[in-house]
């Protein structure tokens, strides 16, 4: 049996009887290292739990009429600017929400004025992800609608959040899917990279899902919207991140979208020409043309 008796030698070492000599400073160092590792583990668990994107039950009301106006898109239309980027204005259930802002304030301002849109009347902004072609127009929003709420993915870079706050806008982090008005919800982010969220509007026929660049996969985003809101998808509008993708990849994504029950598919921005060709040839009833200046309506 090992004795628990402890003695001390002249060098300040603790010598458990029956065990090899162990430097007490090594014991303290090991304990400190274990404590530090435990602290880092607990911090990482905390961060993970905050970004787990668990969704509480949300019951959106169906809007009688939904309008989506394409304010910025690199698919051209005469008389409007078409830089690389995306911005869409959604009008539904008495609310106006701007989804993304394009790459620069001048293009957003110019197109809004040409289309007769007053962006000082918007109720909120939803930013899909942190890339410049989606956040670059925010300075114009700060000028005409100071302090407006800007919903961003919780995983967005802190530097981008600080920049948005520095414009005088109100940053709202979105982890889980969040209702922002009676008929609309921000779909909690998926990781692409980067973290990316979407906007869903409920109609009598189903969900209209707006996507920015779909870095995590447009089919995954649509599936998450349906799962979180328990409403079948009707349409998806926005960037599908398929420019330069292989034919096999494009067909797989399109087939997934059709299998989800989507009856209207509007590729914009970074979707690329191949997805349009596949939709036009294989799914002409589901495919819809759209570009900067397009007004897309549901219901009403």
Say if residue 10's pLDDT is above 70. no
Looking at the predicted structure, is the pLDDT value of residue 5 above 90?
no
Closest CA relative to residue 202, chosen from 70, 69, 57, 92: 92
Residue 31 has pLDDT above 80, yes or no: no
Strand segments (E) across the chain:
6-8, 14-16, 65-73, 86-92, 95-99, 124-126, 149-153, 170-174, 178-181, 184-191, 195-203, 206-211, 233-239, 264-268, 295-299
Average pLDDT over residues 108-136: 98
Q: Are 129 and 164 in contact (CB under 8 A)?
A: no
> What's the pTM?
0.82
Q: SS3 of 287, please? A: strand
pLDDT at 44 over 50: no
At 196-244, the pLDDT tens digits run 999 999 999 999 999 999 999 999 999 999 999 999 999 999 999 999 9
Domain residue extents for the chain: 6-50, 65-299
Residues 6+ positions from 220 with CB-CB distance below 8 Å:
190
Checking DSSP bridges between strand 184-191 and strand 195-203, what pairing results, if any? Answer: antiparallel
Could you give the CA distance from residue 200 to residue 136 in angstroms, rounded to a whole number? 22
1-10, 83-92, 155-164, 275-284, range with the lowest pLDDT: 1-10
Q: How confident is the model at residue 300 (pLDDT cuts 50, 70, 90)?
A: confident
Q: pLDDT-based confidence at 33, cuts 50/70/90?
A: low
- What is the percent of the chain with per-residue pLDDT over 90, rounded to a whole number? 81
Q: Report the distance separating Cα 102 and Cα 114, nearest Å.
A: 16
Supply the pLDDT for residue 25.
45
pLDDT at 182 (0 to 100): 97
Q: What is the pLDDT of residue 50?
A: 33
Q: Which residues of 7-35 are buried (b: 16+ CB within 10 A; e: fewer)?
A: eeeeeeeebeeeeeeeeeeeeeeeeeeee
| Residues 6 or more apart whose Cβ sits within 8 Å of residue 224 | 177, 187, 188, 190, 198
CATH of 65-299, one of 3.60.15.10, 3.50.30.30, 1.10.10.1100, 3.40.50.620: 3.60.15.10
């Amino acid at each position: 049996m090992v004795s628990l008796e402890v003695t001390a030698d002249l060098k300040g070492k603790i010598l458990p009887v029956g065990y090899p000599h162990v430097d007490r400073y090594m014991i303290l160092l090991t304990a400190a290292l274990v404590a530090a590792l435990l602290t880092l583990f607990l911090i990482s668990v905390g961060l993970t739990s905050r970004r787990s994107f668990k969704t509480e039950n949300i019951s959106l009301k169906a809007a009688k009429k939904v309008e989506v106006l394409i304010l910025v898109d690199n698919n051209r239309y005469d008389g409007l600017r078409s830089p690389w980027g995306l911005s869409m204005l959604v009008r539904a259930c008495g609310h106006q929400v701007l989804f993304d802002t394009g790459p620069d304030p001048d293009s957003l301002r110019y197109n809004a004025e040409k289309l007769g849109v007053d962006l000082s009347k918007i109720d909120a902004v939803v930013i899909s992800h942190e890339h410049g072609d989606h956040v670059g127009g925010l300075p114009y929003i700060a000028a005409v609608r100071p302090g407006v709420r800007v919903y961003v993915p919780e995983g967005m870079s802190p530097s981008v959040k600080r920049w948005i706050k520095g414009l005088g806008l109100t940053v709202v982090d979105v982890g889980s899917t969040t209702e922002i008005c009676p008929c609309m919800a921000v779909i909690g982010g998926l990781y692409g990279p980067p973290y990316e969220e979407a906007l869903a509007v409920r109609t009598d026929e189903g969900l209209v899902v707006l996507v920015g660049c779909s870095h995590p996969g447009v089919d995954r985003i649509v599936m998450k919207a349906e799962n979180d809101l328990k409403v079948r998808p009707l349409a998806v509008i926005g960037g599908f991140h398929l420019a330069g993708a292989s034919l096999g990849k494009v067909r797989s994504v399109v087939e997934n979208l059709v299998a989800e029950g989507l009856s209207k598919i509007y590729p914009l921005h970074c979707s690329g020409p191949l997805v349009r060709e596949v939709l036009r040839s294989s799914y002409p009833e589901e495919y819809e043309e759209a570009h900067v200046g397009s007004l897309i309506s549901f219901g009403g």
